[in-house]
Structure 1
Amino acid sequence: MKMGFRWYGDGNDTVALDDIRQIPGVTTIVWSLHHKQAGQVWTEDEIAEQIARIEDLTPDHHARGVTKTLRADVVESVNVHESIKLGKTVLGLDRDTAIDNYRTTIARLGRAGVRVVCYNFMPVFDWLRTDMFHPLPDGSTALYYEKAIVDQMTPESLIASMNLDDGGLTLPGWEPERLASFQELKDAYVGVTREDMYANYQYFLDAVIPVCEEYDVKLGVHPDDPAFDIFGWPRVVSRKADLARVLSLNPSPHHGLTLCLGSFGSNPDSDPVDAVTTFMDRIHFSHVRNIKHYPNGDFTEVAHRANEGSIDTVGIMRAYAAAGYTGYIRPDHGRHLWDENRGNTPRPGYGLYDRALGVQYLLGCWDTATYQA
């Protein structure tokens, strides 16, 4: 198992690479080019520059005796353009051109040494919460989903509510460029069914997976977040049966899952441990986090420790350890702790401290299951 940590880039993250380097057990930086919009080609120079920033030690590192290096093996995400999901021209781009651009980017990432690319196939919104800094009983804050609010909202009112102060940081999935074209997207999805989405998904995979195989890049789809339909748009990567169907669309071992257990587990009917054991051989990357469900349909992010919430993080790590999992894992959405609630405001869910604590908890579970003196 390879432990990773998501980083949004210099000037776009309150967490520095040197902070991540000091978290025991972390070997891989999960990165992206966050200034690139879905459908755009990533240039070789941009890719090389970011990988060098992650992997190279500077003269200052050497002067301080720093020798630990980090890898840039995992990209999260190369976003799928809406024309691919819809199977028609939208936002000024046709499906085949968008797919050709995706193929080019995958080839360039593979040549640069990237081994796994995460993406999602969600219509319009990549994720949804109603409160970015919801207070928890211990004084920390966390992402929160309140069902009653969403039930009363329109997509337009949701967008208005997401115009929060981002401190100059990007908010992936809620980019201004995407939201500016919302009405066109809303109109384009009228009448689109789940079967339409699966057919368009297979068309995408059949075009892209041969490039993944040629350049040894494993493509891992992220479950819908939350894992149920919203605003009537069909979400096709939500439940266990959806994951099985998605995997059946293309048999290549380079087509697989980024199994985010918090997103998958946001549907209280799902069993995250069962999903891990069922799909183990197709899980290329995994996000392990905890959430707490409430009877009224609300849920909140909580600490990674199993007894803090509704997700059996211990059982998840035991299942990975028992299978000898060799893929990538990272802690996911952490609470905001200490100075992060007093002015050093991170991107929602992506502070330093609780994710670092999460790494240690997950590694403790792994070590308990695997360590031999």
Structure 2
Amino acid sequence: MEKTWRWFGKKDKITLSMLRQIGVEGIVTALHDIPNGEVWTLDAILDLKNYIEEAELRWSVVESLPVSEAIKYGSSGRDKLIDNYIISLENLGKAGIKTVCYNFMPVIDWIRTDLYHKLPDGTSTLFFDKIKFAYFDICILKRDNAKEDYSEEELNQVNALDQTITQKEKDELIDTIIVKTQGFINGNIKEGDQHPVAIFKKLLDLYKGIDKEILRENLCYFLNRIMPVCEEYGINMCIHPDDPPRAVLGLPRIVTDAEDIQWILDAVDNPHNGLTFCAGSLSSGIQNDVPTMARKFANRIHFVHLRSTDVCKNGDFIEASHLEGRGHLIELVRIFEKENPELPMRVDHGRLMLGDEDKGYNPGYSFHGRMFALAQVEGMMAAVKGLSKV
């Protein structure tokens, strides 16, 4: 597989020169300065592509060309937004960039409640605490009928937390769930926005009356509109699984398990309608057998995220070592090296370690933590290739 790295553009504190030195081959990036819904011009794409190539790397994957909320909930203005999306895809195709990772998660992308969960060895990692999330949902967001989504035992734990949580802890929970993990990805809410909870509630309101079936219909509408330009330029669209792969905040989620993925691939049965196989997102769903899913969908997987999680009985989950957890990354490397050894792969959600803590990296995107993970995965790849020659 091609060893790639998510890089956040020319302002990223991690430079392309640093990435060359640690064995990265391809870059996963986007035009982060362009607001959602606006056209990516050919000039802007070529400028960034040339900058990457001057560092003797290649722009392997776009992650992501964001799908505007209006496309997801199906507003009357979606056709103009899809037209812009098609022009951007056409320009990417003209520039020779052929793999686009995107998601169709309403309002909120990946969710964690703790960005600095301490581990016994002194490193820290990302963590999802179901009770803290329920507290945010019920007591901070005050979403209508939120209590119906939780068990009596969970509600009792939320009430107990309400007696001890401080205002600082509440503010940190808001910042973690709807600002820090979202602003650098989808732009709905960003650092410095006033009243983020109010903004977030307005975004949720856009999805009133939108259930799983309607969201699926809107995805199909979007995919059917863009498939002709994908066919013309050989562009592979790779939908990212929901993270976590379950319904949250009353919102529908449509990429949670093998059944969902099969539905999407069958509904728009075109080889350019494919999957980003994120082992971390999928492994955080206890319903998912990750290696089995990799084998099942191998021919429609165009991009791979290699990370792993451990899931607790109560629904909490934590980023696991790349050598451990429910992602079974060694087995995934074996599968992908056999089925499609040219797939672009990036490691994901590295720990904070060795001075990463004070560098201001985006959550989950540390330098040393991901470098360590890349070394682990590179070892797996070498072992798999070596065994195949025996």
Residue pair 1:322, 1:369 contacting (<8 A) in 2 also: no
- Identity rate, percent: 36
Q: 2:277 pairs with 237, 259, 263, which one?
A: 259
> Which residue is 2:189 aligned to?
176
Q: Secondary structure of 2:175's match?
A: coil
| Distance verdict in 2 for CA 1:285–1:204, change over 3 Å | same
CA separation in 1, counterparts of 2:246 and 2:201?
Answer: 22
> 1:369 aligns to what SS in structure 2?
helix
Paired AA for residue 10 in structure 1: K
Q: Which residue matches 1:366?
A: 381
The offset of 1:231, in angstroms, is 0.8
Match among 50, 54, 58 for residue 48 of structure 2:
50
1:84 alignment partner in structure 2: 71
Displacement of 1:175? 4.4
Residue 4 (structure 1) aligned with residue 4 (structure 2): yes
Report how far residue 252 of structure 1 moved: 1.1
| Residue number in structure 2 paired with 1:336 | 352
Is 1:163 aligned to residue 162 of structure 2? no
User: CA distance change for structure 1 residues 285 and 193 in 2, over 3 Å: closer, same or farther?
Assistant: same
- Equivalent residue, structure 1, for 2:144: none
Shift of 1:75: 0.6
2:337 to 317, 321, 327: 321
Give the match's secondary structure for 2:254.
coil
Provide the C-alpha distance between the structure 2 equivalents of 1:157 and 1:44, rounded to a whole number of angstroms.
Answer: 43
Task: Give the length in aligned residue pairs.
Answer: 351
Structure 1 letter corresponding to 2:361: P
Give the superposition deviation at 1:235: 0.3
Distance 2:32 2:115 in 1: 20
What secondary structure does 1:50 align onto? helix
Query: Deviation at 1:174?
Result: 5.5
- The answer to whether structure 1 residue 224 and structure 2 residue 242 are counterparts is yes
- d(CA) in 1 for partners of 2:359, 2:72: 37
What SS class does the counterpart of residue 153 from structure 1 fall into? helix
SS of 2:327's equivalent in the other structure is coil
Structure 1 counterpart of 2:348, one-letter code: D
Find the counterpart in structure 2 of residue 75 from structure 1: 62
Q: 1:22 matched to which residue of 2?
A: 21
Deviations 1:172-217 (A, max 9, x none): 1364369675343222211111110111111101000111111111
Distance in structure 1 (CA, Å) of the matches to 2:330 and 2:364: 21
Within the candidate set 118, 134, 140, 1:135 is matched to 118
Letter in 2 for 1:149: K
8 A contact 1:125–1:174 mirrored in 2: no
TM superposition shift of 1:39: 1.2
Q: How far has the Cα of 1:118 moved from its partner? A: 0.4
Q: Structure 1 residue 346 and structure 2 residue 355: aligned?
A: no
Question: Is 2:34 the partner of 1:36?
Answer: yes
**Cα gap change, 1:156 to 1:281, in 2 (>3 Å):** farther
| Structure-2-length-normalised TM-score | 0.85
Amino acid at match of 2:4: G
Which residue of structure 2 aligns with residue 146 of structure 1?
Answer: 129
On the 8 A contact 1:14/1:351 being kept in 2, the answer is no
What is the Cα deviation at residue 295 of structure 1?
A: 1.9
Instruction: Summarize the Cα distance change of 1:283–1:155 in structure 2 as closer, same or farther, 3 Å threshold.
Output: farther
For the structure 1 residues 80 and 51, does the alpha-carbon distance in structure 2 shift closer, same or farther, using more than 3 Å as the test? Answer: same
Match of 2:375, as an amino acid? Q
DSSP-derived class of the 1:52 partner: helix
| Cα distance change of structure 1 residues 182 and 156 upon mapping to structure 2, 3 Å threshold | farther
Q: Residues of 1 paired with 2:184 and 2:139: CA distance? A: 17
**How has the CA–CA distance of structure 1 residues 370 and 293 changed in structure 2, closer, same or farther, with 3 Å as cutoff?**
same
Match of 2:287 in 1: 269
Instruction: Check whether the contact 2:107–2:188 (CA below 8 A) recurs between aligned residues.
Output: no
* In 1: Cα distance, 2:7 partner to 2:174 partner: 22
SS in 1 for 2:355: helix
Whichever structure has more helix as a proportion of its residues is 2
Distance 1:302 1:194 in 2: 30
235 and 170 in structure 1: CA distance in 2 versus 1, 3 angstrom threshold: closer
What secondary structure does 1:338 align onto? coil
Preserved contact between residue 171 and residue 347 of structure 1 (Cα < 8 Å): yes
Residues 51-110 of structure 1 show CA distances to partners (whole Å, capped at 9, x for unaligned) of 1111114xxxxxxxxxxx110021100110111111114xxxx11011001101011011
Q: Distance in 2 between matches of 1:198 and 1:310?
A: 28
Post-superposition Cα deviations, 1:215-237, rounded to whole Å, max 9, x if no partner, equal 11110000001110101110001
CA contact under 8 A between 2:183 and 2:189: conserved in structure 1? no
Measured after TM superposition, the shift of residue 162 of structure 1 is 4.0
3-state SS of the aligned residue for 2:49?
helix
Q: Give the secondary-structure state (helix, strand or coil) at the position aligned to 2:241.
A: coil
Question: C-alpha distance in 1, partners of 2:120/2:360?
Answer: 19
> 1:310 deviation in Å?
2.9
Contact 1:302/1:335 (<8 A) preserved: no
Q: Name the structure 1 match of 2:158.
A: none
Provide the secondary structure at the position in 2 that maps to 1:132: strand
Tell whether the 8 Å contact from 2:303 to 2:344 is kept in structure 1 after alignment: yes
Partners of 1:257 and 1:283 within 8 A in 2: yes
Amino acid aligned to 1:7: W
- Root mean square deviation, CA, Å: 2.2
CA contact (8 A) 2:323 2:329 kept: yes
Q: Which residues in structure 2 correspond to 1:112-131 (within 5 Å)? A: 112-131=95-114
Cα 1:155–1:219, aligned 2, differ >3 Å: closer, same or farther? farther
List runs of 5+ in structure 2 lacking aligned partners.
142-169
